[in-house]
Amino acid sequence: MTRVSPVIRSALGVVALGALTPLAASAQKAAGNILEIIVGSGPFAGTYKAPTDQVVCLYVKKQPQFTVSYKDFSPAGPKALAEAGMQVDNPGEAGAKRGRALITFGSSDKKPTFYDVTIPSPGTGALTLSRSGTHGEVGYQGKTSDGVPVRITAKCSDIDEM
């Protein structure tokens, strides 16, 4: 199993468990947060859109990191989108961004498939972030280690801060 960023997992857990009331309430009102995933080839080829009321955009000041995440705890089958997210490790720095992109298909108790890309790494593609106040856009376009082309785009109209 691939190790996934603690910040992405934490953001997913916060949404699911409602551990932080302001964050959970904000996730419910964040009807404008959009997360779209396009897988270009292979058994999961297609376009996936996370429910907008379940996409969380989070800026962690102390680390600093910007994360967009979605988690379905009961995916409908082995090819269903179970979780997706992007993490930008240096949101305030100029130049190329570092971070991670994650897409998971299937149930966690039935050998899910992970597309987990650390950025930058050779041939992986670029991670982008633009932010203005409580709005932001994050994107990744590149390939997995298996050569599968993926594109993830997020438009955040409600960004939680910690």
The per-residue pLDDT for range 35-93, each reduced to its tens digit, is 999 999 999 999 999 999 999 999 999 989 999 999 999 999 999 999 999 999 989 89
- The pTM assigned to this predicted structure is 0.79
> First and final CA of the chain: distance in angstroms?
29
- The upper half-sphere exposure of residue 125, i.e. CA atoms within 13 Å in the direction of its Cβ, equals 19
Alpha-carbon distances, residue 98 vs 10, 46, 84, 92 (angstroms): 19, 26, 17, 11
Instruction: Please report the pLDDT score of residue 121 as a whole number.
Output: 82
8 A C-beta contact, residue 114 and residue 132: no
In the chain, the domains with their CATH numbers are: 6-161 (2.40.128)
**Bridge partners, residue 60, by sequence:** 65
Length of the chain: 162
Q: Measure Cα distances from 108 to 37, 55, 131 in Å.
A: 19, 19, 33
